[in-house]
Amino acid sequence: MSYLFTSESVSEGHPDKVADQISDALIDNFMAFDPTSKVACETLVTTGQVVLAGEVKTNTYLDVQSIAREVIRKIGYTKSEYMFEANSCGILSAIHDQSSDINQGVDRKVSNDDFEAKADAQGAGDQGMMFGYATKETENYMPLALDLAHNILQELSKIRNNESHIIGYLRPDAKSQVTIEYSDDNVPQRIDSIVVSTQHDDFGAEADMLKKIKEDIISIVIPRVKAKLKPELQALFNDQITYHINPTGKFVIGGPHGDTGLTGRKIIVDTYGGKGAHGGGAFSGKDPSKVDRSAAYATRHIAKNLVAAGLCDEVLVQVSYAIGVAKPCGLFINTYGTSKSNLTDGEIAKKCAEIFDMRPYAIEQRLKLRNPIYSETAAYGHMGRKNEVVKKTFTAPDGTQVVREVELFTWEKLDFVDKVKTAFGL
């Protein structure tokens, strides 16, 4: 029997995402000037106010107010009527030194630069379990409902920032949701419903505004999203889709004025939209010694390479750690019965543990995580994104500039496909 599955996304102007982007901008600046920094920073945003808190061990000094204001400005909160504006909002910093008790298990010193010595010395920044997931139903090996939800809001953002002549009333805050009907053998059949709530200017009577917004979403945004898909995915769109566009009515008050935002409150949007599993740890605001972040990236890397190699059609990968201990407590794999190998999932996990070194230091090195690569992850998901090399410029409080060439989304690379094929005889 067929079934329905739903995923949601939120825009870069959503208050929780504003908080994530500020936290990750701080991470990037710490990494740019001191790659050895240990950072865990949280952000709260509300009407006219930003609060920064957390723990840092670093050799650099940052103007955190300027960094936060630049993030808010880039998102688009630049008008006083938003009640949250880059130049005028208050910013309180309560960032302090990291606990030496926590650091002692993570940052053990070794007497040489030997990789094995460093990998054995650097323990996990916390206990816990992290999950990675991949499926062949999209080209980027992501669940389709989440991918479409992200794409809708990215198209809205593109129009708001670069093509306001097409739709001129958009404000930064927005949410989307996509429900897909699957066959009982887990193949997408059609899109059942699409929900879009977008903040907007007050440009007329409520009924007229809502009618215009609905028309623009259905006739402009959705066709642009559809046009970028493969023909077989385009076929999932039809005139039977149920649309809920701004279903509560007008949405003029939004962003941090409408709702308080906090770092780490959109962990399902950040990962797989409810597919697979989640260990509960957020990503943004954490340096890569925190395995909540680095090991989640590493398990996605494993999952994507397994599916791309043809070992299975869908896979969930779990890794777990004890704080201060380098070697993982365990590696678990579930191929949901789609494995093309005659090995059990347990045997597959054992082989994967040999192929992929999951000690925290090894993950940092393999995925190049001690670089300023995190701002780009803080909206529209950390997974399924484009792996590319970019140049980024950072300015210190004294005016000193650092230009770094960095590789983004390294965990999306298919650089282990050949190793997987060899190991499993594919």
Show binding-site residues for Mg(2+): 16
The string over 399-426, giving b where at least 16 C-beta atoms fall within 10 Å of a residue's C-beta and e elsewhere, is eeeeebebebbbbbeeebbeebeebbee
Map tokens 């204001």 to a residue: 69
Neighbour-count burial of 395, counting CB atoms closer than 10 A to its CB (0-12 exposed, 13-18 middle, 19+ buried): middle
Going by the annotation, the residues of the binding site for ATP are: 14, 173-175, 250-251, 259, 265-266, 282, 286
Cα 297 to Cα 263: distance, rounded to the nearest angstrom: 18
Map tokens 């995925």 to a residue: 367
Map tokens 């697979």 to a residue: 276
Inter-residue contact 316 to 131 (CB < 8 Å): yes
Backbone phi and psi for residue 299, each to the nearest 5 degrees, phi listed first? -70, -35
Cα 192 to Cα 178: distance, rounded to the nearest angstrom: 8
Cα 204 to Cα 209: distance, rounded to the nearest angstrom: 6
Cα 176 to Cα 161: distance, rounded to the nearest angstrom: 18
How far is residue 73 from each of residues 62, 84, 290, 294, measured CA to CA in Å? 18, 10, 29, 28
Taken in order 107, 112, 113, 116, the sign of the CA dihedral is negative
Going by the annotation, the residues of the binding site are: 14, 16, 42, 55, 98, 173-175, 250-251, 259, 265-266, 282, 286, 290
Cα 153 to Cα 120: distance, rounded to the nearest angstrom: 43
Inter-residue contact 360 to 295 (CB < 8 Å): yes
Going by the annotation, the residues of the binding site for K(+) are: 42
Cα 191 to Cα 194: distance, rounded to the nearest angstrom: 8
